[in-house]
Amino acid sequence: MKKSLAGLMAFVLFLSIQVKADEGMWLPSLIGKLNIDKMHSLGLKLSAEQIYSINSSSLKDAVVALDHGSCTAEIVSADGLLLTNHHCGFGEIQKHSSVEHDYLKDGFWALSKDQELPNPGKSVTFLIRMEDVTDKVMKGISDTMSASSRQEKMMKAMSEIEKEAKGDTKYETRIRPLFENNVFYLFVTETFRDIRLVGAPPQSIGKFGGEEDNWMWPRHTGDFSMFRIYCSPDGKPADYAKENVPYHPKHHLPVSLKGVQMNDYAMVMGYPGTTNRYLTSFGLKSTMEVVNVVRIKAREAKLDIIKDYMAKGEKNRIQYASKFAGSSNYYKYSIGENMGLTALKVMDQKLAIEKDFTKWANADAARKAKYGDCLNKIAKSYQTVDEKFASNYAREALLGGPEVFRFSMGISSLYDALRGSDKEKIKTATERFKTSVDGFYKDFDAATDQKIAAVLFKMYADNVVAKYQPSVFAEANKKFKGNFAAYCEKLYKKSIFPDQQKMEAFLKNPTKKVLDKDPVYTVMLSMMETMKVIGEDVRKSTADLESGRKLFVAGLNEMNKDKISYPDANSTMRLTYGIVGDYNPRDGVHYNYFTTLKGYAEKGKAGDADFDFPQKLVDMFHAADYGRYADKDGSLHTCFTTNNDITGGNSGSPVMNANGELIGIAFDGNWEAMSGNIAYENDLQKCINVDIRFVLWIIDKYAGAKNIVNEMTIVQ
C-alpha cells in the first residue's frame, strides 16, 4: 500500500530536536522522503525502494526482531539461516548446556540440519509493512474532549484499524504511538516460533572480555551466534515439530569479504528498544537519582552473591551464567549512564532547551494558552518520590530479585483449579505447571536464592516508606526483629517451592491447603498486593505526565519547524546510516576504528573469567592462516566502529555497506557516550560491530563448520 500524503505531512511537521550529523533512528518507510539524498551523499548505492518496499523484496525482509524485539537478527541464506549476537543466543546456549555438554565453554556447531537444537519460546518476527494511521486514529478527536473520552475513542479507533488490517491473514497487526502520542503507526508483522540453534563459538570468543570489556572500545569479541527459522511444510509459522522445514525468506543478505575503510558508508537496520531523547530535566533527574541509583544498589548486592556461587564449580557457573550476564549488563550500563550524563553536562543541555521553549511559548498568547503549562505539569508529576523509589525497589528487589517467588506465580492457575472440584481441570493445570518445573530447577540453587532474598528484602525494608511495605514483612520485623536472613531461612525451609523433590511430591497429589499454608506462596501474594498499591499511587502522581509530554514534544516540533526529526525508539524497525570512523575518547588519546586478532592474543589471560581463551585460537593467530578472510593489510580484523545511532534491542543488527551487503553485526555502545539514550553525542558516540570476516573465519577455519558458510552468498 502507498502512504497517504496527508499522513506524511502530519509526520513531517513533527520535527523537533536538532538533528546532528548522523544521529537518528529513522522509520524505514520514510527514508525515501526524508533521508535518501543524505544517504546517497554518504555513499549509498541503493534506492529507497531496495531498502524498504511493500511491493517487492527489499532489505527489510532480511531483518527480523528476535523475541519480540529484545534483539535483532538478519537472514543470511535462502534456507532461513540467522545471524545474531552471542549475547542474544546466550540464554539458549546456556539452557542446552550441562557439565557433560558445555556449549558455553566449548561452543556448539550443527554439522547438518538434523543436529540443530529447538528452543521453545524463542521467536522471530518479520515486518510486512508499516503505515501512518494518525489521521484515522485522531478522526473526530478534539482538544475539548475530556481525557477519558478521548482515550476511549482513540482506543476504539485503533482496535478497529488493527482488526481491519488483519482481515483473515495470518499476520499480527498493532498500532504504536510515536512522538509522545502525537503520531500513530500501524505495524503488520508475521511471527515464527520454531527457531533452532545452529552454531555458537565458545564464550571465550563470543563473550571475550566479559564484564570488564562490556560497553567498551577497543573490543575483540566474536559476539555472534546462529539460528534457523523453521515453518510448517506449507510455509506457515508453526510451533516446533519434527516435520517442520527451513523457511525460505523473501530476501537474504549477501555477505561481503571486502572489509571496511575509514569513512565507508555503513547502515544498520534493527529493532532499537527505548530512547528518551525528548526527556525533560525533571525526567533526567529521576533517571539519575531514582532509577539508576536503585538498580545499581540492588544489582550490586545480587551479583556479589551469584558471583560467589558461580566461582564454586562448573555446574554452578553454567547454572547462573545467563542470569548473571543479564543482570550485570544493565547494572554496568546504569553506572556508565550516570557518569556520562554528568560528564557531558546533559542536565545543562536539557535546561537550555526548556528555557528556549518557555521563552518561545510565552511570546505569543495562543501559544502560551496551549503550551504555557506543560512543563509545570511534567515537573509536578516528578515532585513526589516515595512511590517512585518504591516501584523501582519493588521491581529490583521483590519479584525481580530472588527467583522462587516469581516462579510460584506460575502455580496460580493450578491454585484456581484447586478451589473447585473439577478433577479434569486440576489435572490439566497440574500437567501445565509441570512443564516449567525441570527447566526452573536445572538452573536454580535454593541457598543462593535465599541469600539474595535476605539481602534484597532487607534493602527494600530499609529504603521504602512504611505504606509500601508488604504486610508479611511485619513478621520479619516483629518475630525475627528485622533479621531477614533468619526470616528467609524459615520461608525457604518451610516452602515446597525451593525444593524440587518437595514440589514433585506435591504435584502427585496437589491440594489447596498446602498452597494456602506455603510461606513462599503467601509472601508472593503479599508482594503482588503491595505492587498494586504502589502502581495506583504512581498512576495518580503521574496522571498529567503523558499529556504534558505530548504537548511539550508537539511544541518543540512547532518551535523548530524547519528541522526534520525522528521519533524515540520503541522496538519498531528503524534504520540508521552513517560512516565507519574512529574517535578520541579523551584529550590526547586516539582510538582506531578497528581491532585485530593480535589484540585478542594480547588481552588473553588463561583461566581468567573474562579473558580466558582457547589455545587453538591463539595458535591460529601465530600461524596467521586467514585465507580469504584476511584484510588487505594481512591481519584478521575482529571489530570496528561506526557512528550509527543504536541502542538496546539493536543487538545483533546487520551492519551493511553501500550495496546492502553484510559487513558486520552490531553488538554494543561505547563507555564515553553511555548518556546516548538521552542525548546523542556527535563526536563520541559509536556503534561497536564484529567484523563479518572474523565471524566467517571462526565458523569456517576455527570450527570447521563449512556447511554453514557454504549456505551463504559470499561477495568477494
Rounded distance between C-alpha atoms, residue 712 and residue 661, angstroms: 12
Minimum CB separation from ligand ARG for residue 283, in Å? 22
Residue 80 DSSP SS3: coil
Q: At what angle do helices 446-463 and 484-494 cross, to 10 degrees?
A: 140
> Which is nearer to ligand ARG, 223 or 449 (by Cβ)?
223
Given 136, 193, 207, 574, the residue binding ligand ARG (CB under 6 A): 207
Look up residue 6 and give its three cell numbers. 496527508
CB of 536 to ligand ARG, least distance (A): 33
Nearer to ligand ARG, 18 or 274 (CB): 274
Instruction: Tell me which residues in 458-477 interact with ligand ARG (CB under 6 A).
Output: none
**CA 153 and chain centroid, separation:** 32
CA 642, CA 262: separation in Å to the nearest integer? 9
Judged by CB under 6 A, the stretch of 14-22, 154-162, 203-211, 313-321 that binds ligand ARG is 203-211
**Could you confirm whether 68 is annotated as catalytic?**
no
Choose, by CB under 6 A, the member of 43, 210, 400, 585 that binds ligand ARG: 210
Q: Is 622 considered catalytic here? A: no
Cβ closest to ligand ARG, residue 411 vs residue 674: 674
Q: Is position 193 an interface residue for ligand ARG (rule: CB under 6 A)? A: no
The smaller minimum CB distance to ligand ARG, of residues 212 and 348, is found at 212
Q: Which of 393, 368, 529 is nearest to 459 (CA)?
A: 393
- Of the candidates 460, 522, 454, 473, the residue with the CA atom closest to the CA atom of residue 494: 522
Cα-based distances in Å from 697 to 109, 124, 225, 629, 631? 14, 26, 14, 6, 12
637 catalytically annotated: no
- Residue 234 to residues 116, 189, 237, 642, Cα–Cα distance (Å): 21, 18, 9, 41
> Which residue in 58, 78, 181 sits closest to 127, CA to CA?
58
320 binds ligand ARG (CB under 6 A): no
412 exposure class (CB count in 10 Å sphere: 0-12, 13-18, 19+): middle
Catalytic residue among 194, 223, 631, 691: 223
Give residue 154's Cα distance to chain centre.
Answer: 28
The cell for 716 is: 568477494
Taking the complex as a whole, the smallest distance from the CB of residue 200 to ligand ARG amounts, in Å, to 14
Q: CB-wise, 411 or 690, nearer to ligand ARG?
A: 690
Between 519 and 604, whose beta carbon lies closer to ligand ARG? 604
Minimum separation from the CB atom of position 448 to ligand ARG (A)? 19
Among 190, 211, 499, 612, binds ligand ARG (CB under 6 A): 211
**Of 9-17, 131-139, 205-213, 356-364, which part binds ligand ARG (CB under 6 A)?**
205-213
Catalytic residue among 87, 220, 252, 637: 87
Angle between helices 292-310 and 314-343 (to 10 degrees): 160
Q: Which of residues 78-107 bind ligand ARG (CB under 6 A)?
A: 87
520 phi and psi angles, rounded to 5 deg? -70, -45
- The verdict on 596 binding ligand ARG (CB under 6 A) reads no
Instruction: Name the DSSP class of 55.
Output: S
Q: Give the shortest CB-125-to-ligand ARG separation in angstroms.
A: 19
Task: Give the whole-angstrom CA distance, residue 214 versus residue 210.
Answer: 6
Closest CA to 246 of 162, 124, 382, 148: 124
**Cell digits of residue 367:** 501559544
Cite the DSSP H helix spans in 443-518. Answer: 446-463, 473-478, 484-494, 500-508, 512-517
List the beta bridge partners of residue 715.
256
Cβ-based nearer residue to ligand ARG, 70 or 413? 70
Contacts of ligand ARG in 616-675 (CB under 6 A):
648, 651, 667-668
In whole angstroms, the minimum distance from the beta carbon of 650 to ligand ARG comes to: 8
Report the residue number, 265 or 667, with the smaller CB distance to ligand ARG.
Answer: 667
Site for ligand ARG in 400-459 (CB under 6 A): none
Residue nearer to ligand ARG on the CB measure, 450 or 670: 670
HSE-up of residue 414 (Cα within 13 Å, Cβ side)? 26
Nearest-approach distance from CB 329 to ligand ARG, in angstroms: 4
Cα separation of 613 and 205, whole Å? 7
Nearer to ligand ARG, 277 or 332 (CB): 332
Least separation in angstroms between residue 304's CB and ligand ARG is: 16
- Contacts with ligand ARG by CB under 6 A: the residue count is 13
Q: Give buried/exposed letters for 354-379 (b at 16+ CB in 10 A, else e).
A: beebbebbeeeeeeeebbbebbebbb
Minimum Å gap between C-beta 21 and ligand ARG is: 23
Among 214, 256, 450, 595, binds ligand ARG (CB under 6 A): 214
Q: For residue 581, state whether it binds ligand ARG (rule: CB under 6 A).
A: no
Sign, CA torsion 628/632/636/637: negative
Q: Which of 651, 653, 668, 691 is catalytic?
A: 651
Question: Binding ligand ARG by CB under 6 A: which of 215, 331, 393, 433?
Answer: 215
- Minimum distance, C-beta of residue 32 to ligand ARG, in the bound complex (Å): 30
- Cβ atoms of residues 89 and 268 within 8 Å: no
What does the alpha-carbon distance between residue 603 and residue 696 come to, in Å, rounded to a whole number? 22
Task: Restricting to residues 321-340, name those near ligand ARG by CB under 6 A.
Answer: 325, 328-329
Amino acid at 163: K
Query: In 10 A of CB 156, how many CB atoms?
Result: 11
Shortest Cβ distance from residue 443 to ligand ARG (Å)? 17
Stretch that binds ligand ARG, among 112-120, 211-219, 544-552, 631-639 (CB under 6 A): 211-219
Tell how far CA 238 is from the center of its chain.
24
Stretch touching ligand ARG by CB under 6 A, among 207-215, 287-295, 363-371, 628-636: 207-215
Residue 396 grid coordinates: 529490583
In this chain, which stretch among 210-218, 395-403, 446-454, 591-599 interacts with ligand ARG, using CB under 6 A? 210-218
Pick between residue 570 and residue 651 the one whose CB is nearest to ligand ARG.
Answer: 651
Contact residues for ligand ARG, defined by CB under 6 A: 87, 207, 210-211, 214-215, 325, 328-329, 648, 651, 667-668
User: Which residue numbers are catalytic?
Assistant: 87, 223, 651
